[in-house]
Structure 1
Amino acid sequence: MPVYQYTAKNLQSQVVRGTMEASTAEVVRRNLRQNNEFALKIQEVQEYKTAYKLKPMEISDFSRQIASMLAAGITMIRAISIIEERDIKPAIKKVYGVLHKEIENGNTLSFAMEKTGGSFPELLINMYKSGEASGQMEETARKMAEHYEKEHKLRTKIKGAMTYPLILLGVTVIVVLLVFTLILPQFFTLFEGIELPAITQLMINISSSMITYWYLYIIGTLAMIAMFGFLATLPTLKRGLDQLKLRIPRVGKLMKIIYTARFSRTLSSLYSSGLAMINALDISGSTIGNTYLQGQFPQVIELVRNGEPLSVSIQMIDGFDSKLVSTIYIGEESGNLDEMLSNVADAFDYEAEMATTRLVAFIEPMMIILMAVVVGGIMLSVMLPIMTLYKNIG
C-alpha cells in the first residue's frame, strides 16, 4: 500500500507533518479530517530512490533478456532474479533489485518499473502494461529491445559525427588562450612608445585583462553557463529554443528527420501492440524530446477523437518531415499503418545518418576557417607594429 507524506493544520492552527499508509490520497485526507486536522499538502512518498536512469542500450539489453527467458518458459520473477545476479553495474543492479522485490510481492513488471523512480522511460512502462494485458509480453519485450537498439545506434552515430567539430572548437579555444596569455605579453615591451594600430591595441587590452583579471573571466564563464542552464529549464524559453532548432539552416532539416523517425517508431510500436490511437499519440508526442512539437499534439489528438483520419490530423504538426503524412495516408488506405510507420522510421534513420554526415562536412571547413580568422587576426595585430618599427629603423 502506498505511503503518503502530509502537511496539515489542526484546530489550533498548528502545522502538523507526518506520513500515513493508505490506498489513496483521499483516504489520507479523510483520516486527517476525523482527527480534526485539515490537509494542506499530500504527496506520495517514493518508496525507492534508485537515482539511475537506464540508457537506451541498457534498456534494449534488459528487454532482450526478458524476451529470451519468457520464450524459454522461465517465469518473470525467475527471469528478473537471473538478470539481477549477472555481473552488471551496481547502479543497475539496484534498479533490478527493486523490480525483483516488487514482483516478489505479487506486482506486475510494469508496476515494479514505475516504482523505481524514473529509471525506466514512460514508453517502455506503457508498452509492458499493454503486453501484460494482451498476454503478448514476450513479443512486446522483443519489440522494445529492437526499438531502443535503433535509438542507441542513431544517437551514437550523431555523437560520433559531431566529435571532430567539437575537437576543432576545443583546439581553437586553447590556441586563443595560449596566444593571449603567453605569446602576446612578450611583445608588450617591444611596442612601448609607438603608436599602435587599433587591432593591435585591442589585442593588447584583451591580453592584459585576461592576465590581470583571469578570475573574473572564469567566474563570468561559469555564471553564463549557469544562467543559460537555468533559462533553458523555463517552459516558455525551452519551447522557443526547441522551435528554433527546427528553423536553423541545415541543422533544422536534420532535427526534423530525427524527430520524425523517433515519432514514427514509437507510434508504430504502441499501435501494433494494440494500444488505442488516442493513447498512442499522447505517449508518442511526449517521447519525441521537443516541447514545441509536443505542445501541438493536443490539437491533433482532438481531431482524431472527432473522427478525422490521422493523415489529415498530423498535418497540423509544424516540425515533421512532409514525407510522414504521405506514408500514414498509404498505411491507412492499405490497412498496414503500423508496418508503414516502422518502414518510414527505418528510412528516416538512414536519412538522419546521411544528413548528419552532410552537416559535419559543412561544419568542419567552417571551424577551420574560424580558427584561421582568429589566429590570422592575432598574427596581423602583431605583424603590423613590427613592420612599422622596421620602417622607422630604416
Structure 2
Amino acid sequence: MPLFKYDAFNKLGKKVSGTIEASTIQTAKEIIRSQGFMPIKMNEIAALDAAGGFSIKDLFERSVDQKSIILLTKQLAVLLKAGVPLLQGVELLAEQFEGKLRRILIEVKDDLKSGKSFATSLERYPKVFSNVYVQLVRAGEASGNLEAVLKNLAVYLERMDEIRRRVKKAMSYPVMMIGISVVIVSLLITFAVPKIVEVFKESGIELPWPTRFVLGISDFFSAYLFWIVVFSIGGFILFKYWKSTPNGRHSFDKLKLQLPIFSYFTKAKVVVDFTKTFGMLLESGVNLAESLDIVCNLVDNTVLTRTLKNARDKIIKEGKISKYLGETQIFPPIVSYMVSTGEQSGKLAEMLTSVGNDYERDLFELIDSLIAKINPLMILIVGGLIFFIVLAMFLPMKDIGSAFEKMG
C-alpha cells in the first residue's frame, strides 16, 4: 500500500509532519482529518524512500519476523501494566532485541523524546508495523488505554499468524508432495534405470510395454537432462517475474479463485481476516471509513481486494454493511445475517469478532481434515509410481534368464 508524507495543522494550530499508509491520497487525507488534523501538504513517498532507503547492510540483515513483533507487543503491554512509562519501556526493549528491530526501537525512542506520538513513530516503518498495528496503537493512545490495546493486539497477531501458517500449509502441502514424487521418480528413471538397460539390450528379447514405457522416459531424461534443468529454472524465474507484475499478479490471483481447494481457502481466510480485524478496529475506537480501508488492504488477492473496495465505497455512502458484504459473493449468507444482527443491536464489533472466531475454528478443522486425507492419498500415489517402475524392471527378468541360458 502507498505511503504518504504529510504536513498538517493540529487542533492547537501547530504544524506537524508525519507519514501515513493508505490506498489513495484522498483516503490518506480523510484519515488525517478524522484524527483532528488539517492537511496542508501531502505527497506519495517513492517505494525506495518508503522502505527507508537501501544499503548494503540490508542485503545481509534479516528482516523483522512476526514472532519478534508479537513478543515486542506482549512485553510492552506487560511493562505498561506494571506502571513503566512508554518511553522507558521502549528503551528497555531496545536493549533486549537485536539487528533491525533494535535499530527501529532506538529511533522510536528518539521520536518519543522529541514529542512524537508512538503511532506516528511506528508508521515510519510500514514493512515492520502494519497499518492495523499503527491505527490500533493510535486509538489506544487517544483513549489512554494503550496497555489493553497492546495486550489485545498481541493476541490478534498470534491468531492471524497461526491462520496464515495453517492456510499456507494446507495450500502448499499437495504441491510439496507432488514435488517430492516427481523428484523420487526422476532420480529412479535418470540414475537407476539406465544401469539395467544394458542388461536388457544384451539379451535381445522383446520387452513388455511397461518396460518400454519406462525405458523411453529414462532415455528422454538421460538425453535432455541438462535442458530440462535449464528450462525448469528459467521457467520458474520467468513465472516469479510474471507474478510480480500487476497483470501477472491479477491473472494468477484470478486463477487461484478458479481452483477448488485454493479458492475455498483463499475466501475462507478473507472471511476470518476481515471479520476479526474489522471487529477489533471498531472495538478499539477506529472509525468506520478508516477501518474498512485497512481491512480491504489486508487481503492478499488483487481480485478480492478490488471487490471489497467496491463494497467499501458503497458502505461508506449508505452505511449498510451487511447488504454490500453479501453482494461480494465472498461472505456466506450466514455472515451477512449475523453482521446485520450486529448492526441492528448496536453490537457490530462484538458480532464481527464472534463470526471471525467461529470461522477460524471451522477453517482449522477443515485444514486438519484435508491434510489427514491427503497424507494416505499421496503415499498411495508415490508408492504406486515406484511400484510401477520396479515392476517394469522386473517383468523381463524371467525372459532374460532364459535368453542367457540359450546363449550358454
TM-score where L is the length of structure 1: 0.79
Letter in 2 for 1:120: F
Match runs of 1:28-39 below 5 Å = none
> Which residue is 2:69 aligned to?
59
Would you say the 8 A contact 1:71–1:138 is kept in 2? yes
Residues 1:154 and 2:163 aligned together = yes
Contact 1:282 1:297 in 2 (8 A): no
Match of 1:375 in 2: 386
Q: Tell me what 1:104 maps to.
A: 113
C-alpha separation in 2, matches of 1:263 and 1:376: 47
The answer as to whether partners of 2:63 and 2:100 remain within 8 angstroms in 1 is: no
CA contact (8 A) 1:188 1:204 kept: yes
- TM-score of the superposition, structure 2-length normalised? 0.77
Q: Distance in 1 between matches of 2:125 and 2:66?
A: 16
Query: CA offsets, 1:123-159, max 9 Å, x none?
Result: 1112222333343322322221111011123344456
The residue number in structure 2 matching 1:75 is: 85
Q: Aligned partners of 2:177, 2:45: CA distance in 1, in Å?
A: 52
Change (3 A) 1:121 1:365: same
Q: Match of 1:296, as an amino acid?
A: T
Matched, 1:181 2:190: yes
Equivalent residue for 1:16? none
Which letter does structure 1 place at the counterpart of 2:75? Q
Moved more, 330-339 or 304-313: 304-313
Answer yes or no: is the 8 Å Cα contact 1:257–1:321 preserved in 2.
no
Deviates further, 98-107 or 195-204: 195-204
Q: Which residue of 1 aligns with 2:37?
A: none
In 1, the alpha carbon distance for the partners of 2:190 and 2:171 equals: 29
Whether the 8 Å CA contact 2:307–2:328 is kept in 1: the answer is yes
Give the distance between the partners of 1:287 and 1:45, measured in 2 at CA.
Answer: 22
Contact residue 162 and residue 360 of structure 1 kept, 8 A = no
- Which residue pairs with 2:141 in the alignment? 132
Deviation at 1:200, TM superposition (A): 3.0
Q: How far is the alpha carbon of 1:59 from its aligned partner?
A: 2.2
Is the Cα–Cα contact under 8 Å of residues 95 and 119 in structure 1 kept in the other structure?
Answer: no
Rate the CA distance shift 1:105–1:206 in 2: closer, same or farther, 3 A: farther
Measure the CA separation in 2 of the matches of 1:238 and 1:321: 26
Q: How does 1:239-250 map to 2 (within 5 A)?
A: 239-250=250-261
Q: Does 1:265 align with 2:307?
A: no
One-letter amino acid of the structure 2 residue matched with residue 376 of structure 1:
F
Code of the aligned partner of 1:58: S
Corresponding letter in the other structure for 1:80? V
What are the ranges of 5 or more consecutive residues in structure 2 without an aligned counterpart?
Answer: 6-16, 19-43
Greater CA deviation, 73-82 or 169-178? 169-178
Q: Number of aligned pairs?
A: 356
Paired position in structure 1 for 2:225 = 214
Do 1:254 and 1:355's aligned partners in 2 also have CA atoms closer than 8 Å? no
Report Cα offsets for 1:272-298 as digits up to 9, x if no partner.
Answer: 122221221111011122222111122
Distance of aligned partners of 1:291 and 1:164 in 2 relative to their CA distance in 1, 3 Å threshold: closer
Q: Secondary structure at the match of 1:312?
A: helix
Work out which of the residue numbers 225, 234, 244 in structure 1 matches 2:245. Answer: 234
Using the alignment, how far apart are the partners of 1:348 and 1:265 within structure 2? 10
Deviations 1:306-351 (A, max 9, x none): 2141000111223333332122011112111101111111111111
Structure 1 residues 327-336 or 62-71, which shifts more?
A: 62-71
Offset of 1:301 from its aligned partner? 1.6
In the other structure, the counterpart of 1:9 is none
Letter of the 2:383 counterpart: A
Structure 1 residues 282 and 164: CA distance shift in structure 2, 3 A: closer
Offset, 1:250: 4.1
Q: Percent identity?
A: 23
Whether contact under 8 Å (1:98, 1:116) holds in the other structure is no
Structure 2 contact 167–269 (Cα < 8 Å) conserved: no
**Bigger CA drift: 283-292 or 365-374?**
365-374
Q: Tell whether the 8 Å contact from 2:135 to 2:286 is kept in structure 1 after alignment.
A: no
- Name the counterpart of 1:93: 102
Is residue 246–residue 319 contact of structure 1 (8 Å, CA) maintained in 2? Answer: no
Q: Which of 381-390 and 337-346 deviates more?
A: 381-390
1:55-90 Cα deviation digits (max 9, x unpaired):
33322222222222223332222111011111x342
Contact map agreement 2:296 2:309 (CA 8 A) in 1: no
Please point out which of 336, 344, 347 is paired with 2:347.
336
CA–CA distance in 2 between the matches of 1:133 and 1:160? 39
Q: Structure 1 CA distance, aligned partners of 2:375 and 2:106?
A: 46
In the superposition, relative to structure 1, how do residues 277 and 250 fare at CA in structure 2: closer, same or farther (>3 Å)? same
Alignment of 1:244-393 (within 5 A): 244-389=255-400
1:256–1:321: 8 Å Cα contact kept in structure 2? no
Question: Is the 1:77–1:104 contact (alpha carbons within 8 Å) kept by the matching residues of 2?
Answer: yes
Most deviating of 373-382 and 138-147: 373-382
Identify unmatched segments of 5+ residues in structure 1: 5-22, 25-40
Contact 2:171/2:262 (8 A) holds in 1: no
Give the Cα separation in 1 of the matches to 2:126 and 2:310.
30
Distance 1:42 1:202, change over 3 A: same
